[in-house]
Amino acid sequence: MPKLVWLNGEVMPLETATTSVADHAHLYGDGLFEGIRIYNNKVFKLDEHLRRLYHGIAYLGFEMHMSFEELRATVLDVCKQAGIESGYIRLNVTRGTGLGLDPKAINRTPNVMIMVNTLSLYPPEAYETGLNVITCSFRVIPPDSLDPRVKCIGRYANNILAKQEANRAGAGEGLMLNHQGYIAECTGDNLFLIQNGVIRTPHPSSGILQGITRDTAIMLARQAGLTVEETFLTPMDVYTADEAFLTGTAAEVIPMISLDGRKIGCGTPGEITRDLIRRFREHTNTGVPF
């Protein structure tokens, strides 16, 4: 099936798609993005992703000319044209086009891109064996610099540096702390810990991206009768947990079995984690059909 790109109203194959070298995201990272999953010809959590995108548009002051409803319909139409049964959508909105940091000096018509592709962040066996994680030296960007709820393209340079650090250590992921020493998130995932049957996850004010899959995992856990607490955590909480797992659109729900060479629990995916993975996979059938 074709991998397609919709760019400012024109559909083209991914292999031939191009954008301006003067795009403000290309020059300065001045853009927003969402990664969205397709499961069984349905777009998962589409409205939630679009709401976060439009909150970011308001925060950064983009002069967006497409309404929520127009963009939603366009995403579904491009997915239908691509015909990919299960895949990954990359949705970008940038401030506009032009050289110069000052937005007053550029064409402020946003560039909007919808890419329909496939993505597999981890091999299938990692969901059975779990990930080994290290604590990275790179801290998350503090909210007085950039609100962590904004999925801004430019902020991910920091996450990439942390991911490279994890790669050099041979780890599956890297855990990032905030400047107070509390756990924030992994380079591309949110963290959950389980101890004595209670699930805990960093509070949004810890400096996390409040992930769509994170919110879904909280909802599914509470539906299962489990207690979920959003709180402040340190690496010691990870070292002493019974189970741990990570969540993200690309990662979905995946077990975490160690931090810094220390086993979490028995060092294998736990029962609650496995149950939540099963519940999440069942829940992916609730997407928007196209």
Show the domains of the chain with their CATH numbers. Answer: 4-117 (3.30.470.10), 126-288 (3.20.10.10)
CA gap 97, 24 in Å, rounded: 5
Query: How confident is the model over 90-139, as pLDDT tens digits?
Result: 999 999 999 999 999 999 999 999 999 998 889 999 999 999 999 999 99
Quote the pLDDT of residue 116.
97
pLDDT by residue, tens only, the chain of 290 residues = 679 999 999 999 999 999 999 999 999 999 999 999 999 999 999 999 999 999 999 999 999 999 999 999 999 999 999 999 999 999 999 999 999 999 999 999 999 999 999 988 899 999 999 999 999 999 999 999 999 999 999 999 999 999 999 999 999 999 999 999 999 999 999 999 999 999 999 999 999 999 999 999 999 999 999 999 999 999 999 999 999 999 999 999 999 999 999 999 999 999 999 999 999 999 999 999 99
Q: Is 279 exposed, middle or buried (0-12, 13-18, 19+ CB in 10 A)?
A: middle
* C-alpha pair distances (Å), 45 with each of 33, 103, 144: 15, 32, 29
Q: Name the catalytic one among 3, 151, 163, 263.
A: 151
Q: What six digits make up the tokens of 154?
A: 């430019």
Known catalytic membership, residue 151? yes
Tell me the torsion sign for CA atoms 212, 215, 221, 224.
negative
DSSP state of 110: -
CA gap 217, 223 in Å, rounded: 10
> Please, which residues have CB within 8 angstroms of residue 23's CB and are 6 or more apart in sequence?
31, 94, 96, 97, 111
Q: What six digits make up the tokens of 48?
A: 């939630």
Q: Choose among 165, 167, 221: nearest CA to 192.
A: 221
